[in-house]
Amino acid sequence: MSFENFGPASASPDDRFECGVCWSVYDPAEGDAVWQIPSGTPFSELPEEWRCPHCDAPRTRFMRVDHG
């Protein structure tokens, strides 16, 4: 993975993001039950205080999952 995958800067609404600490994936199609984020919520629209539901890492530690 390359550094350009960090953050939501050029992400599309359906892009998935992977935690750089515990490798869990935020998938907008699923949302986040722990934080009560509804399905269909893009990573860029997560609340600023949102953190990884598995390891508590901040949003800045997530990388966009490469689609190909």
Residue pLDDT, tens place only, 6-61? 555 567 999 999 999 999 999 999 999 999 999 999 999 999 999 999 999 999 99
Residue 3: pLDDT over 50: no
- Hey, what domains does the chain have and what are their CATH numbers? 1-68 (2.20.28.10)
pLDDT of residue 9: 56
Q: Is the pTM of this model over 0.85?
A: no
pLDDT of residue 66: 77
Can you tell me the distance from the alpha carbon of 68 to that of 49, in angstroms, rounded to the nearest whole number?
30
Phi, psi (deg, nearest 5) at residue 19: -70, 130
pLDDT of residue 1: 42
